[in-house]
A = this chain, B = another copy of it.
Amino acid sequence: IAALCSAVPDPRYREYLIKKERSQQTGGRVVLSEAELQFNVLLDKLKLQEMETSDFPPAMHFFKAKPLIDRSKLFSLLQKMPKGGALHVHDFALVDVSWLVKNVTYRPHCYVCFTDSSSVRFVFSLHQPKTSPQCSKWMLLETLRAKVDNTTDLDNSFIRNLTLYTYDPEVAYPSQDVVWKRFEEAFIAVWGLVTHAPVFKDYFYEGLKQFNADNVMYLELRALLPQTYELDGNINNRFWTMRAYQEVLKEFVGKHPDFFGSRVIFTAHRGINASELTDILKEAIKLQEEFPEIMAGFDLVGREDTGRPLWYFSKALSQPAEHGLSLPYFFHAGETDFQGTDVDQNMLDALLLNTSRIGHGFALVHHPTTKALSRQMGVAVEVCPISNQVLKLVSDLRNHPAAMLMSEGHPLVISSDDPALFGASGLSYDFYEAFVGIAGLKSDVGTLKELAVNSIRYSSLSPQQKEEALSIWQKKWERFVVENLPQ
């Protein structure tokens, strides 16, 4: 403080404070190799280019920013970068919806109906299905396509129904209520396709393919584990679903030995009541016992602001641990910007219920005590920038609260939540927003490295698996750096 009292600021003291601040940031203490330092020169240059355009993509809505990001050199570098794992992605928002429309809806026996709210429903069936309420008569898509002049227009209208993309999102989605309604609508529209048993397996395979292509080597999936249906009307239960994940993963890893794996976090909708949750938790524990390799734990999903607070479920959620049963939690918490409500307490309650990570934790910075606890417990926050923007928690991503978390070096990972619904894919778009928009100009190759390493460090993998995954990642990383040194 002595230096502060002198009249002229001491440039060395200033330098010391700036360095101290940098060292506290995410990636600020990563020791860089000679090659990484060289690579960083390129990275710095490319990031400055992004900031010097008049349309700074992270300041814009993702739907408008995406074409700019697609043209960005920094983005294509981030696509090539080995990003480690994606720890917060939902089961039915993994795959670019055009794959669903162009591939899945062209399969035989696919029926469609159009709802009164101008959305669509799909179902696979051997016979004409029974008409659903608020929906037109079911039409066999093959027949419909033969009748319409322009199947491309029809397919595009399906694609519009299955994502939130729209030309003018600020006008189309004036409030969180409106955008969440649309979000849930899109989720229901996709349902009849992805819960058809053969499609379910193909969908997961395709998802692994797309994340792998985006240089993600590991995936933790928030999965509803729904019943799936066969063409003959047979219904498969949750154990079938879990086995399906296991088999598909085995097949994929067989063909892509570089891909490390995937684990499942079983999720229930927070619309249920406490006694329903108690039943689901019993099933979750059975699944955990039967599929210890692939099952990572449990979570509650759905919009927090309109749902029951976590504390309402605290008794039910305490039961497994009380009975000495292991069921790790990975709670969504703090996906809100209302401060001081019961729901805003979810982050604290998630920690008190021994959560392994916090999904979103958007509101964590409003709670210094909870934030300190999360750090002390080593509980990482899963930051999903594009999701938070599209669902209207924040508009300019430079204001995303993860900027504060990163400036303090809080444990966190970057993930993509529901890339397919947002018109994104894989993990690179969110890495772009995080690196360019949230982490600030002084973030560097160390930041990227720490984010990738965090995604393995804070995963649900065992210590041995983490070590193995890290050493695979390290090799990929070194190759990536060397291949992208500035000329």
Contacts and interface: CB of A to CB of B under 8 A. Distances in A.
A441 interface: yes
B7 A322 contact: yes
Interface in A338-394: 338-341, 344-345, 348-349, 351-354, 365-370, 373, 376-377, 392-394
A105 interface: no
Contacts of A377: 1, 4
A441 B338 contact: yes
B396 A395 contact: yes
Interface residues on A, range: 35 or more
A13 interface: yes
Given A17-B370, A24-B369, A399-B394, A353 B9 contact: yes
Contacts of A9: 314, 318, 349, 352-353
Contacts of A369: 17, 20-21, 24
Which of A7, A314, A341 has the largest number of chain B CB atoms within 10 A? A7
Interface stretch (A402-410, A425-433, A468-476): A402-410
Nearest to A353: B9
A54 to B, nearest CB: 7
A17 B394 contact: no
A395 B353 CA distance: 34
A399 to B, nearest CB: 5
A385 to B, nearest CB: 13
Nearest to A322: B7
A8 interface: yes
A369 B24 CA distance: 9
Interface in A302-360: 314, 318, 321-322, 337-341, 344-345, 348-349, 351-354
Contacts of A13: 352
A202 interface: no
Interface of A: 1, 4, 7-10, 13-14, 17-18, 20-21, 24, 51, 54, 59, 170, 175, 177, 314, 318, 321-322, 337-341, 344-345, 348-349, 351-354, 365-370, 373, 376-377, 392-396, 398-399, 401, 403-404, 407-408, 439-443
A-B interface, 4 closest residue pairs, ranked by CB to CB distance from nearest: A339-B440, A340-B441, A7-B321, A9-B352
5 contacts: A4-B354, A338-B440, A341-B441, A344-B441, A404-B404
